[in-house]
Structure 1
Amino acid sequence: MTTSPPASATPALPEPTPTQSEQYSLTHGKLTVGDYLPKASHDGKPGAGKCEWSSHVSVALTSDEIGALAWVLIDSVMKARFGPAVQLYDVWREHTLDGTTIPEPDRQTIGSFVKPVFGLPGADKKKSKDHLHGHIGEWLWHLLTKDNPTVRAQPAPKGDVTDSGGDGYTIYETANSELRFRLWESKKNTGKGSLSTSLNQAYGQLGEHGQTYVAKIVGAYAQASGEGAAELNSFITEIPRAWTQGDVIVGAGVTLATHRPLPNKPFKKMAGKLPLLDKPGQLRGLATSIECYEELADTVRRYAWTAL
């Protein structure tokens, strides 16, 4: 004997495909992460011994919006991962949007670009999502900040969150056209731990390992070219000593991504944990709260796997 579902039960809607999600973003003119996560608050002007911060909050995204935001994210991630191998990116994108499987041997080749963090379909389906959630958080930070007109250089996040070193950096200009460097540490909080614990871990890493992170960034720095390149290339050589002394040209940033509501004053302990960085503008925080964070991350990974 079978039982029918209650009359009030609503059938689950089919999950949007990558093509539907791209079309939604184009039709609605929502082509950037910021279109889905508007800035919710900002604490005002920087001050001595103070962390200036802003937050982006989305309480309830529709299924279509989750899919469209996931597509904006994964398309940006994969374009960065393929780097100069644009033809491989084009193959991944074409088959993903067509909903078809990439033929061998390209399937194996392209899978090697997808595997870090996302894993591969089948064997990695039950893989821990910690790294996936953290990677999404890093990309939310990058895509929310990289197009600020003051930014002169901000490389995309690393392809694998297990790589050692800092999570990111920004070289930007002040209102007086002076160059500044900011080292970023990214944390996600999608488990049961407190937000303050996640933030304290970030402060601790910057305080304990910041000098080493800076050394690795400078050592791996690729010389810029084009207009303004000489200024950037000269500036980066000043960063290691400046960090040691807490000079005004360097600063630290912490980004937090979570599914939880944000406190009224996040980052309030940051100044006390990084006492050398006590000049106005040296400390920065970015908090992102997305109620459907896990569903978003799952959709990003599903889109990464679509053509595999």
Structure 2
Amino acid sequence: MTTSSEAAPRGSEPAPAEPTPAASEEFARVNNRLTVHDYLPRTFHDGTAAAGKCEWSSHVCVDLTLEEAGALAWVLVDTIMSARFGRATHLHAEWRQHTLEGTKLAAPRDRLIGSFVAPVFGLPGAAKSDDHLHGHVGEWLWHLLTKDNPAVRVQPDPKGDVTDAGSDGFSIYETGTGELRFRLWESKKNTGSGSLAASLNRAYAQLEGHGQRYVAKIVGAFGGVSSETPNEVKALVTDLPEAWLQGDKLVGAGVMLATHQDLPATPFTGMAIKLPLLDKPGQLRGLVTSLSCFVEIAMMVRRYAWTAL
């Protein structure tokens, strides 16, 4: 995919203009391609459960047209911003209207709306690092590719500040026999030419070295859970600190990798070695997305988020 941000070779035709948010929203709506799955279908799944083995899935898209890339960027940014605004749905509607119309918010509304944009994207002239941007988009790809699984009972949106030092995500889900399980997820992106194995090894090391602290933070956050939270979920959360310490069957680990590189045939072979306590069937899970224009789409997501500011 070639965008307007890429310089065309001398003597060639100029690169096509990046689609506006309105054009991308229209493409997604008219073609009924309103979810991440519509652009990144699952291309492989190794679901054989065994002790010391990582079950994993891949979502690969070799190329997207410029219109498809813009539509995917719109699906991502609209979903992210809806989560950012939370119960302030009128502010999401205001951001969305100005973004689709391509108009700027007047002061002080720009400062108000910008306060919801800044924690994950920064602001025009004061952007969060590209590294943080790529990582945040990768976390949202993981979340949107997994949250609608009917087995998932609890899976919060990715954290609302890209500098938060906690875990990247977690799921509470049901097994085929109706038992509840917890999985702690670590997300990595590889947007350069470095080794994918090295990126995965960093994720394993974080889970091994910081997993106990991440679990403690998650358990602490459940202290103020809604009275509507099912008792069986509360009971599971209560047991998580000791379960993680012991590698109990109640817990597991997942690693997500987002990249633009081609994927190896077996990307998660080292996970069981790095996390030896999690050696029971079903405890290890991997998810990898390979999208050739991942960096360009992440940048487009940020530009769309800033359109009204």
TM-score class, shorter-chain normalisation, is: over 0.9
CA displacement 1:16-39 (0-9 Å, x = unmatched): 111111111111111100110010
SS in 1 for 2:298: helix
Q: Between the two proteins, what is the percent identity of the paired residues?
A: 65
Equivalent residue number for residue 152 of structure 2: 151
Q: Does 1:223 align with 2:247?
A: no
C-alpha separation in 2, matches of 1:238 and 1:44: 27
Which secondary structure does the structure 2 equivalent of 1:22 belong to? helix
CA distance in structure 1 between the aligned counterparts of 2:230 and 2:46, rounded to whole angstroms = 33
Deviations 1:99-149 (A, max 9, x none): 11112211101111111231211343xx63100000000000000000000
The yes-or-no answer on 1:15 pairing with 2:26 is: no
In the TM superposition, structure 1's runs of 4+ consecutive aligned residues that sit over 6 Å from their partners are: none
Q: Partner residue of 2:197? A: 196
Residue in 2 that maps onto 1:105: 108
Paired AA for residue 132 in structure 2: H
**76, 86, 96: which one pairs with 1:73?**
76
How is 1:148-297 mapped onto 2 (pairs within 5 angstroms)?
Answer: 148-221=149-222, 222-226=224-228, 229-297=230-298
Specify the alignment match of 1:41 in structure 2.
44
The answer for unaligned runs of 5 or more in structure 2 is 1-9
Match of 2:7 in 1: none
The one-letter code of the counterpart of 1:56 is H
Letter aligned with residue 106 of structure 1: R
Q: CA deviation at 1:224?
A: 4.0
How many residues of Structure 1 are paired with residues of Structure 2 in the alignment?
A: 299
Q: What are the Cα deviations for residues 259-283 of structure 1, in whole angstroms up to 9, with x where unaligned? A: 1001000111000100000000000
Shift of 1:65: 0.6
Q: Is the 8 A contact 1:135 1:161 kept in 2?
A: yes
Superposition deviation, residue 73 in structure 1:
0.5
Shift in alpha-carbon separation, 1:123–1:211, aligned structure 2, 3 A: closer
Tell me if 1:134 matches 2:135. Answer: yes
| Structure 1 residue 254, shift from structure 2 partner | 0.3
Unpaired segments ≥5 residues, structure 1: none
- 1 CA distance for matches of 2:257 and 2:162? 15
Determine helix, strand or coil for the equivalent of 2:149. Answer: coil
Normalised by the length of structure 2, the TM-score is 0.94
Measure how far apart 1:203 and its partner are: 0.3
- Tell me the CA shift for residue 207 of structure 1: 0.4
1:233-261 deviation digits (Å, cap 9, x = unpaired) = 22211111111111101000000000100
CA–CA distance in structure 2, aligned partners of residues 190 and 123 of structure 1 = 22
**Pairwise CA distance, 1:191:** 2.0
Q: Which whole-Å CA distance do the structure 1 matches of 2:49 and 2:101 have between them?
A: 48
Equivalents in 2 of 1:189, 1:272: separation in Å? 22
Backbone CA RMSD of aligned residues: 1.3
Partners of 2:226 and 2:175 in 1: CA distance: 20
Distance in 2, matches of 1:184 and 1:82, equals 24
The amino acid that maps onto 2:207 is: L
1:88 corresponds to which of 82, 88, 91: 91
Corresponding letter in the other structure for 2:98 = H
AA of the residue aligned to 1:76 = T
